[in-house]
Amino acid sequence: MAYQPTLASLAAHPVPDWFHDAKFGIFVHWSVSSIPAFAPPNKKGIGEVDLGDAESVAWMFKNTPYAEWYWNSISIDGSRAQRYHRTTYGADYAYDNFVPQFMQLARGCDLEAWADLFARAGARYVVFVTKHHDGFLLWPSAHPNPHRRGWQAERDFVGELTRAVRARGMRMGLYYSGGIDWTFHGLPIDSLASFLGSVPQSEAYARYADAHWRELIERYEPAVLWNDIGYPEKAAPARLFADYYNRIPDGVVNNRFMLGAGEGGQHYDFVTPEYAVLDRILEQKWESTRGIGGSFGFNRAEPDDYLLTAEEIVHMIADVTSKNGNLLLNVGPTANGLVPWAQAARLLAVGDWLRHNGEAIYGTRPWRKADGRSADGVAVRFTQRPGYVYAIVLAQPAGNEVVLDDLQPTVATEIHLLGYGAPLRWQQRGAAVAVELPGDMLTGPAYALRFSQDAA
């Protein structure tokens, strides 16, 4: 069908099966901010901030753990990032000075190695930041920044990574900061009012942002349009969406082309809660996004204990999948393009788990409930596909059996442990089912049981 730039027409666009099936993607934040690579580590997530409390919001901006917000952070008087910047570089050292340093170091970046790592991690798609809030472009655009000369890469990082990702069988999505561009709009953002007013609404910026999105679509045909923090009203996003779907029918658009909670008048395919955990199955397709640590961009100030463990990432994938979501997990490479080993090691461990247990994740859909518990209190997450239900037990086995509450398979049900061939012995104990586990089973952050037919 031909899509028109109306909400009624765009609403007919289905979320494609590939996006439902993918479950796990890798986000990449890599830009000029990777040179200073600093933010004060804190574990107070953005979801914990009371947006109705001006003092809490001011604290959030002043103490953001997001290293990619460095330019804004050093513009806020009294912030830790400002003190760090003045001590390390000097009070008069402009953010602009980091640009040539980044361009020099980035020349040696091995994007094939990134794609290898993401594929080994078990990711089914990648979303690459093409322009973050500092406005620097990671592709040689025909529409250069009118306020900053040389504010774009000569090397086509977007094109190279796109080819490398697709060569390994993954989908490629692109991020673009449509709502914030600090080269167009004054700094700092330090309050809710300045945040809500941060999207440039000039005709010039609308043309600029629209030209970039259209250029990215024309050159790279992204599977995901991942916009951030709003979009200028004059850029007519509905027309952009219609043209995008008509070119790439199985593409998807996120919900961040609007700023704030008023989503009723804007089209999107999926919602993107940040550093959030849901307590229920969400009917609307969603994608949980977060860094491995407290920052998206590389933050040299973050100790290892700020990073998720491989076990926590596996549990998060299972939890998000059981509730109709995908996990978009971010990596933050250093300025010279190296993914720090602390991040890479976790991704490799996750990929190893997915190679053995991915049947319970990829291509599944939510079951009649997402959550459960074993008799000894271990958390369980449920998924399903035609003919099968999966129970993902989020711990190593404590003994030679596991008892799952509120499950009543039929007599004909076979139960398998993923990675093992023979069916397991089981028996009904009231409203619970007791499953005998093999003594030589592999240990790890979780294990998955497959029920051959729906458990009542």
Whole-angstrom distance, CA of residue 115 vs CA of residue 36: 25
pLDDT of residue 265: 66
Contact between 67 and 80 (Cβ < 8 Å): no
Give the distance, in angstroms, between the CA of residue 276 and the centroid of all CA atoms in the same chain. 11
Has residue 49 got a pLDDT over 80?
A: no
323 touches 21 (CB < 8 A): no
Over the stretch 99-156, which tens digit does the pLDDT of each residue have? 999 999 999 999 999 999 999 999 999 999 999 999 999 999 999 999 999 999 999 9
pLDDT bracket for residue 44 (50, 70, 90)? low
pLDDT confidence bin for 47, thresholds 50/70/90: low
Nearest alpha-carbon partner for 67 in 397, 296, 365, 228: 296
pLDDT at 454: 55
Q: How many helices (H) and strands (E) does the chain have?
A: 13, 15
Contact assessment for residue 362 and residue 327, using Cβ atoms and an 8 Å cutoff: no
Given a cut of 80, whether residue 264 has pLDDT beyond it is no
Segment 311-337, tens digit of pLDDT: 999 999 999 999 999 999 999 999 999
What domains can be seen in the chain, in order of their start residue? 7-360 (3.20.20.80), 365-451 (2.60.40.1180)
Nearest to 232 by CA among 208, 255, 214: 208
Token pair of 83 as six digits: 């003190």
**Matching residue, tokens 């990134």:** 114
Omega before residue 188 within 30° of 0, cis:
yes
255 DSSP assignment: S
> In terms of C-beta density within 10 A (0-12 exposed, 13-18 middle, 19 or more buried), how is residue 250 classed?
middle
How far is residue 422's CA from residue 434's CA, in Å, rounded to a whole number? 17
398-451 pLDDT tens trace: 889 999 999 989 999 999 999 998 999 999 999 999 999 998 887 899 999 999
**Residues 6 or more apart from 346 whose CB is under 8 A from it?**
292, 307, 308, 309, 310, 313
**C-alpha span between 383 and 399 (Å, rounded):** 24
- Whether 381 shows a pLDDT value over 50: the answer reads yes
Strand partners, 289: 274, 328
Owner of token pair 């030209």: 211
Average pLDDT over residues 236-260: 94
* Spatial contact of 224 and 173, defined as CB atoms under 8 Å apart: yes
Give the contacts of 207 (CB within 8 A, at least 6 positions apart): 235
DSSP string covering 425-453, please? Answer: PEEEETTEEEEEPPTTPPPSS-EEEEESS
428 neighbors 400 (Cβ within 8 angstroms): no
- Return the H-helix or E-strand segment holding 239: helix 237-247
Tell me which H or E stretch contains 160: helix 157-167
pLDDT surpassing 90 at residue 186: no
Give the contacts of 99 (CB within 8 A, at least 6 positions apart): 32, 136, 150, 151
pTM above 0.85, yes or no: yes
Q: Which of 285, 371, 384, 358 is nearest to 328 (CA)?
A: 285
pLDDT value of residue 52: 75
Q: Cβ distance 217 to 227 under 8 Å?
A: no
Residue given tokens 């027409």 in the structure block: 9
- How far apart CA 102 and CA 89 sit, in angstroms, is 15
